[in-house]
Structures are given as C-alpha cells and as structure tokens.
Structure 1
Amino acid sequence: MQISGLAGYRGIASYNRGRWLGGFMGRLRVVTTSCFTVELWAIHGGLTMVTNFNLKNFIIETDSQEALMLMSKGGLVDNYPDRDVIEECRHFLYELEISMMHTLREGNNCADL
C-alpha cells in the first residue's frame, strides 16, 4: 500500500444512549499540516453530518481543549490560518444549537484508532 502523506480525519455520531447514528471521514488536500488543523476539520465533518441529518441539540465531544476554546470564543480569528473552517464551525454551532464539550482522549474509545 502506498502512503500518500496526506492528513485524514474521521468520527462517529451516536445517540445519548450509545446507539450508532453514522460516521464520517475526510482527507485534507495538503501534504503538511498541524494536528490542530486536522482536529478542526474533524469537528467540521461532525457538524456537517449533523447538518445533513437535520439534527438539533447535539453535543460534539473533542479531546482538543484548544479547539474547544476557539469555537466557544466570540472574537475574531483573523490571524489564524484556519480562520475559514473556524468561522464555518461557529456558524453551525449557533444555527443548529449544538454544544461542544471536552472529553479525555483516554475516555473516548473511538478516538485516534
């Protein structure tokens, strides 16, 4: 198998009692990127899936405290290289009444498999 060197992300969605709703995955079209950028795109992928299912009052869990802080701030992010994806995620969160919360990576059996 050839290794592309491109970064990818994936995630799942489940109801509050653990029943599986769906999953998503994607690949960034850049050769070099940061773990933080990949985390932002994973959050974006989850928000896109929630939008496609037309769900509201959903909770997105992330093990990235930096992403959580950035999404919850109302300030400008003009100096961030990932400004566009951050602003789009904020829009999804506001429009769909979605909350975000921090979870420990060790407590998330589906993270980074």
Structure 2
Amino acid sequence: MRAGAGCIIRDHEGRWLDGCCRNIRICNSLAAELWALLDGLRLAWSRGYKDLEVQVDCLVALKLVQHNNDLANASSSIVRRIHNLLDEDWRVTITHVYREGNQCADFLATFALNLEEGLHLLQEPPRAMHFLLHADAVGEGRVRMCPVSSD
C-alpha cells in the first residue's frame, strides 16, 4: 500500500517549530508509523531539542518501542534505530493519543504522498495545513465516534 509518514515539532504552547514528512512509497501502516517516529526523533535531535513529549497514534508502534517486543519482524531495524536515538542524552516521553488528536501529523503523512520518494524537511507548515494548526491552537477537536453498549 502507498504510505507516507509525517511529524511535527511544536513548542510548549503548540506552535509549529519544525516538521518533516516522508514518501515511503510502499509499506504497511506499522512501518509508516515507525518511520514517522524515527524521522521525528532524528529531526528533534539534530535541532538540539533535549526534552520531548512525543505523541503517537499507533498503539502497536508504541508497544514495540517501549517494551522491545519481538524485534524479529520486518520493522526491527527501524525499532533498533529508534532505541539507539532514545539512548542518547535527552529526555523523551512517548505517549499514545487517538488519531483525532494527531491530525497534523496525519495531514503531513498524506501530504508526503504527492512528493518525491524520501524525506522532506519542512521549516514551515504547508499552507493547506494552517486550518488544522489553528484548530489545535484554540482547542477545537474532532469528536471520536465510539459504539455505545446496549447493556
């Protein structure tokens, strides 16, 4: 399946600092999530950020990284690279958020599909992304539809 990865680095008030996206071309969704995490960590490290709160919307990717689960899968080299970065001298906390809370990164992943294959560093957000950044800044969210039990 065609896949892209995206990450955004924000300050403590939610303002855009940096971002990147990658046109991976073809891979599964777990590998795309891991690429986004790896690219985001690399970008943050290269910019000198030393205290990060990372939010991911893929619970499986989070568990692979946090618990070093079964690295004998196709994503093992990416997970190893993530672990190597996490071992550097900085504070990184990785937490799970629902997809609705990660709209900007998802936008960048989709945006990447229209770019050449590979990593693209973004000093400014794409113009079409401004409405999402604004919605996040003012606390507007999307409703998550959850099934209601009939019990």
Give the TM-score taking structure 1 as reference length. 0.83
Give the deviation of 1:6 after TM superposition: 4.3
The counterpart of 2:43, out of the listed 49, 65, 85, is: 49
Q: What is the CA-CA distance between 1:93 and the residue it aligns to?
A: 1.7
Measured on the aligned residues, the alpha-carbon RMSD in Å equals 1.8
Whose radius of gyration is greater, 1 or 2?
A: 2
Higher relative contact order (CA 8 A, sep 6+): 2
Tell me which residue corresponds to 1:14.
10
Structure 2 equivalent of residue 90 of structure 1: 83
Determine what percentage of the aligned residue pairs are the same residue: 27
Q: Displaced runs of 4+ in structure 1, greater than 6 A? A: none
Greater helix content? 2
Point out the structure with the larger strand share: 2
What TM-score do you get using the length of structure 2 for normalisation?
0.64
Show structure 2 runs of 5+ residues with no match.
Answer: 108-151
Equivalent pairs counted in the alignment come to 106
Gaps of 5+ in 1: none
Local SS of the residue matching 2:8: strand
In 2, the alpha carbon distance for the partners of 1:6 and 1:109 equals 19
Summarize the alignment of residues 1-113 of structure 1 with structure 2, pairs less than 5 Å apart: 6-28=2-24, 30-31=25-26, 33-74=27-68, 77=71, 79-95=72-88, 96-113=90-107
